[in-house]
């Protein structure tokens, strides 16, 4: 169960245009599994909602601090703080605020998320709400205490996404989303759930993939989030460069502690 006493909310941010897609089946499986685990489930169905991914001045209902030069991050923060976000963004911010767990369900597009989901990141995870640079990021990010899990499908096979496969290591491919976006905002980033190549899997295998996803979500409360290097190891006096003491402490390790901060060592496996 999510929790025996306090009701918990899960948000599924879903980015696929086709109701008969495998992504839709994964979404429906997640709704069912999360409800079985005691969550109230909310969905942001971005294509169905016709979510506008463009970051423009129309996202703000109040007057701009600088009408001559739109600095989106500053205006977005101001709009959040003065309750002048447009209704579409505010509704998403409110859903994130209520959520204890967020599932991002999407097909990989060009080694990343579909544009509509990228737009959701740009407009919803804004300064003042999701993070505050430089103090409230990573371990101290304002999304602290919320779990986030990527559920992504691919066109490529699992072997293609290895260090010897044609596409390269999947953990490197996901670093910008997992670390650069979700961890930056302070989410507890759970191991990604990747459904490789559903289009070329036999039907029976696809059913098994849905069952695996259901089981995983029902056991999510027992999982440990992925570990990242703590923000305290980066020196604010030196533009957040890694502290020398931390580098010294890593000196005798063969394997890096993090994909992005590999210090020239062998990369860790995210599995």
Ligand X SMILES: Cc1cc2nc3c(=O)[nH]c(=O)nc-3n(C[C@H](O)[C@H](O)[C@H](O)COP(=O)(O)OP(=O)(O)OC[C@H]3O[C@@H](n4cnc5c(N)ncnc54)[C@H](O)[C@@H]3O)c2cc1C
Nearer CB in complex with ligand X: 50/203: 203
Q: Measured from the CB atom, is 99 or 117 closer to ligand X?
A: 117
Backbone dihedral angles phi then psi of residue 178, each to the nearest 5 degrees: -70, -45
| Residue 43: strand pairing partners | 12
- Residue 100 or 206: the one with the smaller Cβ distance to ligand X is 206
Kindly identify the residues of this chain, within the stretch 18-77, that bind ligand X according to CB under 6 A.
Answer: 18, 20-23, 25
Closest-CB residue for ligand X?
155
Of residues 186 and 192, the one with the C-beta less far from ligand X:
192
Q: Shortest gap between Cβ of 210 and ligand X (angstroms)?
A: 6
If the CB atoms of residues 156 and 270 are measured against ligand X, the closer one turns out to be: 156
If you count them, how many residues does the chain have?
A: 271
Q: What own/partner pairs with CB < 8 Å and gap ≥ 24 does 64-72 have?
A: 72/122
Quick one: 206 or 265, whose CB is closer to ligand X? 206
Q: How far is the CB of 195 from ligand X (least distance, A)?
A: 8
d(CA 95, CA 92): 5
Site for ligand X in 180-199 (CB under 6 A): 198-199
Number of residues that bind ligand X (CB under 6 A): 21
Residue whose CB is less far from ligand X, 23 or 181: 23
Residues 145-184 vs ligand X: string with x where CB under 6 A?
Answer: --------xxxx----------------------------
Among positions 110, 222, 239, 254, the unique one binding ligand X when judged by CB under 6 A: 110
d(CA 186, CA 209): 29
Using alpha carbons, select from 92, 86, 142 the residue that is nearest to residue 120: 92
Q: How far is the CB of 22 from ligand X (least distance, A)?
A: 3
Determine the Cα–Cα distance for residues 138 and 150; give it in Å rounded to an integer: 17
Q: Which span (14-22, 81-89, 213-221, 237-245) binds ligand X, by CB under 6 A? A: 14-22
Site string for ligand X, 80-109 (x = CB under 6 A): ---------------------------xxx
Nearest 5°: CA angle at 188, between 184 and 192?
95
* Cα(21)–Cα(199) distance, integer angstroms: 10
Of these, 206, 221, 261, 262, which contacts ligand X (CB under 6 A)?
Answer: 206
Q: Give the separation between CA 215 and CA 30, rounded to whole angstroms.
A: 10
Determine, following the binding rule CB under 6 A, whether residue 111 of this chain makes contact with ligand X.
yes
| Consecutive H or E run containing 193 | strand 193-195
User: Which residues have C-beta within 8 Å of that of residue 185, sequence separation ≥ 6?
Assistant: 125, 130, 131, 137, 141, 142, 143
d(Cα 84, Cα 103) in Å, to the nearest integer? 27
Reading the block at residue 62, the tokens are: 């109040």
- Write the CB contacts of 253 (distance below 8 Å, at least 6 apart in sequence): 265
User: Rule CB under 6 A: which residues touch ligand X?
Assistant: 16, 18, 20-23, 25, 107-111, 153-156, 198-199, 203, 206-207
């Amino acid at each position: 169960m999510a929790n025996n006493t306090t009701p918990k909310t899960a948000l599924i941010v879903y980015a696929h245009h086709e109701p008969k897609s495998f992504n839709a089946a994964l979404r429906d499986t997640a709704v069912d599994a999360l409800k079985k685990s005691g969550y109230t489930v909310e969905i942001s169905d971005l294509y169905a909602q016709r979510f506008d991914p463009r970051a423009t001045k129309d996202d703000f209902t109040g007057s701009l601090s600088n009408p001559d030069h739109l600095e989106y991050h500053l205006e977005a923060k101001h709009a959040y703080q003065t309750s002048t976000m447009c209704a579409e963004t505010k509704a998403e911010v409110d859903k994130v605020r209520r959520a204890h767990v967020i599932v991002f369900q999407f097909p990989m597009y060009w080694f990343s998320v579909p544009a509509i989901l990228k737009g959701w990141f740009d407009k919803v995870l804004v300064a003042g709400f999701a993070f505050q640079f430089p103090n409230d990021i990573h371990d101290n990010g304002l999304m602290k205490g919320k779990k986030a899990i990527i559920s992504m499908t691919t066109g490529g096979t699992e072997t293609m996404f290895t260090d010897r496969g044609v596409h390269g290591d999947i953990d490197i491919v996901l670093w910008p989303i997992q670390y650069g976006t979700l961890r930056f905002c302070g989410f507890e980033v759970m191991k990604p759930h990747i459904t490789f190549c559903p289009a070329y899997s036999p039907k029976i295998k696809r059913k098994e993939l849905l069952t695996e996803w259901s089981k995983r979500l029902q056991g999510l409360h027992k999982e440990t989030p992925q570990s990242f290097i703590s923000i305290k190891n980066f020196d604010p006096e030196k533009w957040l460069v890694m502290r020398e003491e931390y580098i010294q402490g890593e000196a005798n390790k063969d394997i890096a502690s993090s994909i992005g901060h590999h210090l020239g060592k062998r990369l860790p496996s995210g599995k």
